[in-house]
Amino acid sequence: MAAAAVFLPVLKNGFTNYDDPSYVFANPRIQDLSWRGLSNVFSPGADSIYIPLTFLSYTVQFHLFGARPFGYHAASLLFHLLSVALVFALARKLAASDKAAIIAALLFAVHPLHVEPVAWVASQKDLLAGLFFFASLLSYRQFNETRNGGAYGVSLAAFAAAVLSKPVTIMMPFALFLLDRVRPEPVKKTRFIDKIPFFAVAALLAAVTLQTRRQYMQAHPVDNLLTAADRIAGSGNALFFYAAKALAPLRLSCAYPIYQVKNSGPIPALFFGGVFVLAAAALLLLSRKRSAEAFGGAFFILTLIPVLPLVPFGGYNAADRYAYIPLFGLFLSAGVLAVRKKGAVLVLAAAILGLSALTWQRIPVWKDSLALWDNVLEKYPTLTIALKGRAEHYYTNGLTDKAIADLKTILAHHPARAAGIYSMLGDAYLRGGEYGQALEWFDKAVAANPGDAYSLAKRDQIAQLAQH
């Protein structure tokens, strides 16, 4: 009920231009509900990641709701509510305390870091992955308690569904080892046998995911922005970021600057490198303990690994949505520790009310593209993705002068990324009827990339317009 009450305003939100078109209403892959269309959904395509179950969900929603955002937001809210129920059931089993489980579930239900996956239609992959991930953990816990083969089968199937929703859930087999530790009797060596099918599923789907990602990177080459030092220190920075935002979710954004040592200097780099080392040591230490709170801490670190910069194809920078599954660990630990200390429950109750208020305030940020990118640029005025996103919004709505201003801001602060901006400037000037300026920018685009077929075609178009 708490999650429903706090997140209900998402139903008033629309779409944004941040991946919503390519994932949903402008995505031809989800518009065919025939067997041929469904097989196309499950075929590795030109997407950056392999998420067929997410696209299957979008396919069903598209045929139910078309391009009306209300239905998609209602589905996102439903997925989150189901995850909250699973989090409560799982926390209750692990903590053996209703109070601790209620605290963990309430924190998970209303935390502001969860606004992004719930309010952003293109982030349904995170919600579906979390839903199946928690279902798999809960079913495996049931199997641990009863040795029931049906529960084991449900756990394995739910894990496969989680990975097919989003590959970051690939750490599940290792999480099951942590789950084994929170048991009344010692772990038997034969427990590894139970994990073999999970590792097999993980290996198979990891291979498909890596191949999909490799093909995408070949078709969309990008500069390798990160050095080895960037990846190590950046991973420490990301771990620190998620822990800090869990405790104080302020200045949230749908996009953050990429961490690089050359921009931060040696002192912060050493600090974040130390955070990374400490986190690795904490994971090893906590994974050897048998308490629910230790499980929570280890789970938090473990499930963040796939989105750290250290991992190939991991996250270049932090993102609120990456914390959706990992935060369960911190909230479980908070619930367990709170019920042991006098007065802590009241403190957390006040914190939950405060978090609810912050979540309520943040939801309108996702109501449309302009609100979203304005919010980012208030914090990071020269962030390329935000300036580009807002420029696209202005261009789509005929505000070409404002679009041009944002695009030129990108050129002024990030000249290395000029090639992709030249053609956007050409389009903006062309829509405004300034053919000479448009031609100049398309010329620059072709000079930067002689194989730019789009800009070459636009130059021909301008030449034809000039003849009339």
Q: In this prediction, what percent of the chain has a pLDDT beyond 90?
A: 64
From the list 208, 198, 264, the residue with the least C-alpha distance to 237 is 264
Q: Is the pLDDT reported for residue 104 higher than 70?
A: yes
Domain positions in the chain: 2-366, 381-467
Average pLDDT over the chain reads 89
Q: What is the DSSP string of 364-425?
A: GGGSSHHHHHHHHHHH-TT-HHHHHHHHHHHHHTT-HHHHHHHHHHHHHH-GGGHHHHHHHH
Mean pLDDT of 121-143: 97
Q: What pLDDT does residue 449 have?
A: 87
Contacts 24+ apart (CB under 8 A), 100-105: 100/292, 100/332, 100/335, 100/336, 100/338, 100/339, 101/335, 102/335, 103/331, 103/334, 103/335, 103/338, 103/339, 103/345, 103/348, 103/352, 104/328, 104/331, 104/332, 104/334, 104/335, 105/331
174, 129 in Cβ contact below 8 A? no
Question: How many contiguous H segments (helices) and E segments (strands) does the chain have?
Answer: 23, 0
Nearest to 169 by CA among 9, 1, 54: 54
Nearest to 147 by CA among 190, 92, 101: 190
pLDDT interval class at 355 (50, 70, 90): very high
Report the candidate in 94, 173, 174 with the shortest Cα–Cα distance to residue 141: 94
* pLDDT > 80? residue 84: yes
Highest mean pLDDT among 31-45, 70-84, 282-296, 416-430: 70-84
Cα separation, 456 vs 1, in Å, equals 56
| Structure tokens, 340 | 């042991």
pLDDT tier at 3 (50, 70, 90 boundaries)?
A: confident
Residue 217's pLDDT is what?
A: 59
Element (H, E) at 448: helix 435-448
Q: 10 Å Cβ neighbour count for 399? A: 17
How does pLDDT run across 260-315, given as a tens digit for each residue?
777 777 788 888 888 888 998 989 888 888 899 999 999 999 999 999 988 766 55
CB-hemisphere CA count at 13 Å for 448? 17
218-235 pLDDT, tens digit per residue, is 555 555 567 778 888 888
Handedness of CA 215, 220, 225, 230 (dihedral sign): negative
CB atoms within 10 A of CB 395: 21
Q: What is the DSSP letter of 184?
A: S
| pTM over the 0.85 mark | yes
Structural contact between residues 122 and 23, judged by C-beta atoms closer than 8 angstroms? yes
Please, are residues 393 and 370 in contact by the beta-carbon 8 Å criterion?
yes
Structure-block tokens of residue 92 = 């209750």
Residue 174 has pLDDT above 60, yes or no: yes
Report the CATH architecture of 381-467.
Alpha Horseshoe (1.25)
> Which single residue is written with the structure tokens 């998402």?
10
Work out the average pLDDT over 188-203: 84
